């Protein structure tokens, strides 16, 4: 069975490609390498370097595929605020092109990388899939727009789709060729910043006066390998004509200070850190309710924060 992995040269997509190949799937990768890296794509995968916005390229990439794992897209919240049109063009219009080409090719199964950003500021914690959606930035808006399009495609054209709403993805996968690290030009995520913190450039703790146990924000981190296991389960569970939305997190919250302490354990030294003011747009707590992932996908995350930090450090060759 051949799977088209869009965005397969990126951090999460490349992890999916490697795990799919080891499980015996055939894989085609479509990636424009705007943020992904061609050298992340193994030679066993068919690789098409091109854009989702180019229907001919998408058609070629779909040849022989039975299903699509759709990771490709712009994914930086801050950038989305500055360039909302770019985010709508790539994430929403690009997905429309993909869905049109899938329909033409009679490919009826898709798993989509959605996001907790679709919910916006949580009203209740932990967040259930039935919670109100009210994104607070264009990135979240584009993910929600695609979720809605997928529902419509199921109703109108019989597509089978599962949107997986990621919370904070972390950790790394060790392939036979070595680690597949998170590689961003501008790194905004906490765990990479903590691991790269130095006395000269200490990591900033964005807010120490939140109403949480230790005053720092709480997030729900999930290991990228657990995340991909959930995608592979989702592929098998898709029902034609229906669209399911499922949260992916660990169902456990960790504060920024707990992340720092796990990183100290992983690296064997104190992490230089500096208390700083709150980052705009950050909610105090983001925590997933993952019961649906367990009942619908039969999935339970198995890797804890220490494993995520240790694997990220190894992928950065810091340990
Ligand atoms: N954070 C921080 N310092 C950093 C980066 C992030 O204190 O250099 C905090 C951020 O305010 C949030 C948490 O760490 O509470 C996770 O942030 P990240 O950007 O990794 O993911 P987000 O939750 O924003 O998707």
* d(CA 277, ligand 1 centre) in Å: 12
Q: Is the pLDDT of residue 318 over 90?
A: no
Structure confidence at residue 184 (pLDDT) = 81
DSSP per residue, 278-306: PPTT--SB--B--HHHHHHH-------HH
Q: What is the pLDDT of residues 246-255, one digit of tens each?
A: 999 999 999 9
- What mean pLDDT do residues 91-97 have? 98
- Annotated active-site residue in 11, 87, 119, 139: 139
Total residues belonging to the chain:
319
Is residue 131 within 8 A of residue 123, CB to CB? The reply is yes
Structure tokens at 150: 């997928």
Q: What is the pLDDT of residues 40-79, one digit of tens each?
A: 999 999 999 999 999 999 999 999 999 999 999 999 998 9
- pLDDT band of residue 236 (cuts 50, 70, 90) is very high
Tokens 């229906």 found at: 242
DSSP per residue, 133-175: ---SSHHHHHHHHHHHHHHHHHHHH--EEEEEEE-EEE--EEE
**Mind listing the domains of the chain with CATH numbers?**
2-170+222-248 (3.40.50.720), 177-220+251-291+300-315 (3.90.25.10)
Ligand 1 near 248 CB (within 6 A): no
Which residue has the least CA distance to atom 5 on ligand 1?
190
Which residue has the least CA distance to atom 20 on ligand 1?
189
Which residue has the least CA distance to atom 25 on ligand 1?
168
Structure tokens at 111: 């798993």
Mean pLDDT computed over every residue of the chain: 97
Total Cβ atoms within 10 A of residue 265: 12
Radius of gyration for the alpha carbons in the chain, expressed in angstroms and rounded: 19
Q: What is the end-to-end Cα distance of the chain in Å, rounded?
A: 38
Assessment of whether the complete model's pTM goes beyond 0.95: yes
């Amino acid at each position: 069975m051949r799977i088209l992995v869009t965005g397969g040269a990126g951090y999460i997509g490349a992890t999916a490609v490697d795990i799919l190949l080891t499980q015996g799937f055939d894989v085609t990768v479509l990636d424009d390498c705007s943020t992904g890296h061609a050298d992340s794509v193994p030679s066993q995968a068919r690789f098409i370097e091109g854009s989702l916005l180019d229907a001919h390229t998408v058609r070629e990439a779909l040849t022989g595929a039975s299903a699509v794992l759709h990771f490709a897209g712009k994914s930086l919240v801050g950038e989305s605020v500055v360039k909302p049109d770019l985010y709508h063009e790539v994430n929403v219009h690009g997905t429309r092109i993909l869905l049109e080409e899938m329909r033409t090719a009679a490919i009826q199964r898709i798993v989509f990388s959605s996001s907790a950003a679709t919910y916006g500021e949580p009203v209740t914690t932990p967040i259930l899939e039935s919670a109100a959606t009210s994104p607070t930035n264009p990135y979240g808006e584009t993910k929600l727009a695609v979720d809605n399009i997928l529902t419509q495609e199921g109703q109108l054209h019989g597509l089978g789709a599962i949107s997986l709403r990621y919370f904070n993805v972390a950790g790394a996968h060790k392939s036979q060729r070595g680690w597949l690290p998170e590689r961003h030009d501008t790194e905004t995520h906490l765990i990479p910043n903590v691991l790269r913190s130095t006395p000269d450039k200490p990591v900033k703790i964005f807010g120490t006066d939140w109403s949480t146990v230790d005053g720092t924000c709480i997030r729900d981190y999930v290991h990228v390998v657990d995340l991909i296991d959930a995608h592979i389960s989702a592929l098998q569970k898709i029902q034609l004509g229906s669209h399911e939305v499922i949260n992916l997190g660990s169902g456990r919250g960790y504060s920024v200070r707990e992340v720092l302490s796990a990183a100290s354990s992983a690296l064997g030294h104190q992490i230089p850190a500096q208390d700083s003011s709150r980052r705009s747009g950050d909610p105090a707590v983001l925590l997933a309710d993952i019961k649906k992932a367990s009942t619908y996908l039969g999935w339970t995350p198995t890797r804890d924060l220490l494993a995520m930090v240790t694997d990220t450090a190894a992928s950065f060759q810091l340990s």
